[in-house]
Amino acid sequence: MRRLPVYLLLDTSGSMSGEPIEAVKNGVQMMIHSLRQNPQAIETAFVSIITFDSNAQQIIPLTDLASFQMVDIKASGMTSLGAALNLLADKLENEVTKTTLEQKGDWKPIIFIMTDGVPTDDWQLGLNKLKSVNKGLVVGCAAGNGADDQVLKQISDSVVRLNNTDAESIAKFFQWVSASIATSSTKVEETGIDLTKKDQLPPPPSELVIIA
């Protein structure tokens, strides 16, 4: 079975504390619940979550939807986006099955990065490592006025902006992520072709402004 790997890189720095971090937790739960209703997604999509604050850690390895269990996350510390990109590169290298002469590997991964701030470490170092391994689609979300969309534009194939980090706005983002994963699962199953372009994703809701 060829998997569709989905990686969520979520900012859990101190500025996300309170309503935003609770909304992120609820958003992930809603996303998983919605995807479990989709016959293609339940077969194909595997989800991993990497959080980044003063450090980056993979809190959930690449997991099928039926087995996925969200863990509690807290907001504190800095915004180590570079460390998250570095860790993501390692996980893409180790968790995603490559295509060889003997076998078809996994589908190309889809990566969603959500941040409300400015990186506090060397994000370019992490990006260079990511570029050496990643052949998938990267979508960035600049959440709120403090997010640096210029950095996200250099990392991502597509960038959307949320003007607010309130519960309703963040919920809309995760609904769109869910729709994107569901659409991608169906497309790869039906066409047998990897997703590599942002215009293959469904249009985002009005709360999400496409900026790149």
Band of pLDDT at residue 194, cut at 50, 70 and 90 = confident
Band of pLDDT at residue 177, cut at 50, 70 and 90 = very high
Going by C-beta distance under 8 Å and a sequence separation of 6 or more, which residues neighbour residue 41? 35, 65, 181, 182, 185, 186
pLDDT of residue 31: 97
Model confidence pTM above 0.75: yes
Structure tokens at 48: 């991993």
In order, the DSSP letters of 83-151 are: HHHHHHHHHHHHHSPPP-SS---PPPPEEEEEESS--SS-HHHHHHHHHHH--SEEEEEEESTT--HHH
DSSP state at residue 66: T
Q: Which residue do the tokens 């942002």 mark?
A: 198
pLDDT of residue 56: 98
**CA 151, CA 118: separation in Å to the nearest integer?**
8
Residue 79: pLDDT over 90: yes
Band of pLDDT at residue 183, cut at 50, 70 and 90 = very high
DSSP state at residue 201: S
Band of pLDDT at residue 25, cut at 50, 70 and 90 = very high
